[in-house]
Amino acid sequence: MNRTFKTVASSDISISELMLPNYTNFSGKIHGGYILSLMDQIAFACASKFSGNYCVTASVDTVNFLKPIEVGELVKMKASVNYVGKSSMIIGIRVEAENIQTGIIKHCNSSYFTMVAKDSAGKSALVPGLILSNNNDVRRFYNCIKQISLKKEKDLHEEEFDYTSKESLENLKNYNIKLEFL
């Protein structure tokens, strides 16, 4: 299987960026799409650093925007490899914003990006194994195993909705919709 192993700490990476007015949305807060772009960049850097290969984003797990980010705040992102498969890695990312005048730091969001290592021919490349060095590493790894298991279970049990069935359409009455077929 994997011949080399690396510690979680060897994958640690962080970035900081001052939030400027040109990053705002129509409500004057920092645009979520801009934050997602930064998260994708740090996930790429973390995965590439750990694997030694070019990496691509395979999926992004839920990103809940917990608190808005304001113009003038310093955004800090921290990332590390939390789980490895054969060619894939789950990168945990934490986003915090610091008011540089008051020093108050707020947790804005966390997410998990699944990244896949690619070789020079564009084929999936093996990644090093993961050395778990402390309880926090074990907790994060185990949480990834649970998340993968939940995804697989959901995929197995997902029902195919028969949108042509009158009975299926009747079941939609409990939702805030109105059916108007032309």
Report pLDDT for 158.
Answer: 67
Integer Cα distance of 3 and 176 in angstroms: 55
The DSSP call for residue 120 is T
Mean pLDDT taken over the chain: 93
Kindly indicate the confidence band of residue 178, based on its pLDDT and cuts at 50, 70 and 90: confident
Average pLDDT over residues 80-106: 98
pLDDT of residue 166: 85
- Kindly list the domain boundaries of the chain, sorted by start residue: 5-134
Q: Rounded to the nearest 5 degrees, what angle is found at the Cα of 13, between the Cα atoms of 86 and 70?
A: 125
pLDDT in tens, 40-79: 999 999 999 999 999 999 999 989 999 999 999 999 999 9
CA distances from 179 to 28, 41, 169, 173, 175 (A): 37, 42, 9, 9, 11
Residue among 140, 13, 114 nearest 60 (CA)? 114
DSSP string, 101-118: TT--EEEEEEEEEEEEEE
> pTM of the predicted model, to two decimals?
0.88
Three-state SS at 180: coil
Q: Report the CATH fold assignment for 5-134.
A: Thiol Ester Dehydrase; Chain A (3.10.129)
